[in-house]
Chain A
Amino acid sequence: MAIANESHQEEKNMDAHHGAGRYWLIWGVLLVLTVVTVVTGRMHLPSFGLLLALVIATVKGTLVTLYFMHLAEHRGANRLVFGVSILFVVLMLVIPMADLGTRFRGANPPGSQYSDLQPADIGTGTQRGRFGGGVRQTETKDTPETPAPHH
């Protein structure tokens, strides 16, 4: 019975017809936020740049789900499903990051920011191979970083 009531309520909400104007308004806000995130992103803000970009993206995402995807008019079950999936995303992000942030320093991969060790030489060249890329030998010949062969 409760489910039937919920269906009825949702149907009523979806039937309550809004003008198309609301979609255009949301579109305008999304475009403005895109410009804001591009402008602030190009400033390369030192510490809170990533945080700011993620906050703006979250606001944009919320607008899309609430109004374009009609979550604002949907009832409990749909909101529960979406909310739980977002909660799991946050858990999936937080737990590995907490692990990485609290590791014994020597357990981080050599060459990474939190390691004292040099990156492993994977044997593709004395200078370049250390960076983990299989640099093509033929194309590295006349770059300034590669010392010219002695004759």
Chain B
Amino acid sequence: MQSSAHTADGAENLPRLAGHFASLEVQNHAARLGMWLFLATEILLFAGLFVCYGCYRFLYPEAWAAGSRSLDLTMGTVNTIVLITSSLTAALAVHYAKEGENKKVGVMFALTLLMAVGFLVIKYFEYAHKFHIGTLPGRYYHYEGIQVTGIPLYFTVYFCSTALHAFHVVIGMAVLSVAMVRAFRKKDFGPKNYTMVELGSMYWHLVDLVWIFLFPMLYLV
């Protein structure tokens, strides 16, 4: 409780209350509910790809086994650990925002962003390798090592789902950057004003959540 921002709050650090909300509590609740609704649509977006995965895996189990064994498990595991750890720092940012320690909030988000960049760099190397050897979707598949019926479909699912996930990583980075800059510059997060940190962090956890499922589905089984 040593931070200067914390002592200054009380009246000053309260977020603006929109006229149509009865109280700040109701406004926060509405914001949170809206975020959950948005995350539900995101989950269903990825579910479509999971259904593709399920159907084609059912039809071409040998191609799926061969395809998943051709991926680099070490890179996948490192990426999983990186993403889980970035989720931890995002959660800690909410923790510090509630305490009004804006500097720590900024540092936690900076660490999260650093790990997000790391994730994307590793992903780039994986993609580059696949473009090099030719394990690509559809008619662009030209890898001699694995010639099983349905193998291009495995890589269609692989590229669609990981690319959509990587796109979410980039969006999440943009959201967290805004919150990070605000924590460093405006320093107005506190026990009554942390909705932005909380919802941004929720988005980041969703990115982590999707990867938690994609990783074993693509790399392990």
- What is the interface of chain A, defined by CB distance below 8 A to chain B? 3-4, 6-8, 10-11, 14-15, 17-18, 20, 23-24, 26-27, 30-31, 34, 37-38, 41-42, 49-50, 53-54, 56-57, 60-61, 64-65, 67-70, 74-75, 77-78, 81-82, 84-86, 88-89, 92-93, 96-97, 100-101, 108-109, 111-114, 119, 128, 130-136, 139-140, 143, 145
Tell me which residues across on chain B come within 8 A of A10, comparing CB atoms.
25, 28-29, 32
Tell me which residues across on chain A come within 8 A of B219, comparing CB atoms.
41
Cβ–Cβ contact B95 & A23, under 8 A: yes
Tell me which residues across on chain A come within 8 A of B121, comparing CB atoms.
none
Cβ–Cβ contact A97 & B54, under 8 A: yes
Cβ–Cβ contact B47 & A49, under 8 A: no
User: Complex: how many Å from CA A69 to CA B98?
Assistant: 14
Cβ–Cβ contact B39 & A82, under 8 A: yes
Q: How far is the CB of A28 from chain B (nearest CB, A)?
A: 9
Tell me which residues across on chain B come within 8 A of A20, comparing CB atoms.
92, 95
User: Complex: how many Å from CA A86 to CA B46?
Assistant: 12
Tell me which residues across on chain B come within 8 A of A96, comparing CB atoms.
51, 54-55
Cβ–Cβ contact B40 & A56, under 8 A: no
Tell me which residues across on chain A come within 8 A of B48, comparing CB atoms.
92
User: Complex: how many Å from CA A86 to CA B77?
Assistant: 26
Residue B162 at the chain A interface, CB threshold 8 Å: no
Cβ–Cβ contact B202 & A69, under 8 A: yes
Q: Closest 9 CB pairs between A and B?
A: A41-B220, A85-B40, A7-B29, A134-B139, A112-B59, A53-B216, A133-B141, A27-B88, A111-B149
User: Complex: how many Å from CA A24 to CA B62?
Assistant: 40
Cβ–Cβ contact A139 & B142, under 8 A: yes
- What is the interface of chain B, defined by CB distance below 8 A to chain A? 22-23, 25-26, 28-29, 32-33, 36-37, 39-41, 43-44, 47-48, 50-51, 54-55, 58-62, 73, 77, 80-81, 84-85, 87-88, 90-92, 94-95, 98-99, 134, 139-142, 144, 147-153, 191, 198, 201-202, 205-206, 208-209, 212-213, 215-217, 219-221
Q: How far is the CB of A125 from chain B (nearest CB, A)?
A: 11
Check A60/B212 contact, CB under 8 A, given A7-B25, A10-B32, A132-B150: yes
Cβ–Cβ contact B84 & A100, under 8 A: no
Tell me which residues across on chain A come within 8 A of B87, comparing CB atoms.
27, 30, 64, 68
Tell me which residues across on chain B come within 8 A of A140, comparing CB atoms.
144
Cβ–Cβ contact B37 & A81, under 8 A: yes
User: Complex: how many Å from CA A142 to CA B157?
Assistant: 30
User: Complex: how many Å from CA A109 to CA B29?
Assistant: 49
Tell me which residues across on chain B come within 8 A of A30, comparing CB atoms.
84, 87
Cβ–Cβ contact B80 & A34, under 8 A: yes
Check A89/B43 contact, CB under 8 A, given A97-B58, A134-B139: yes
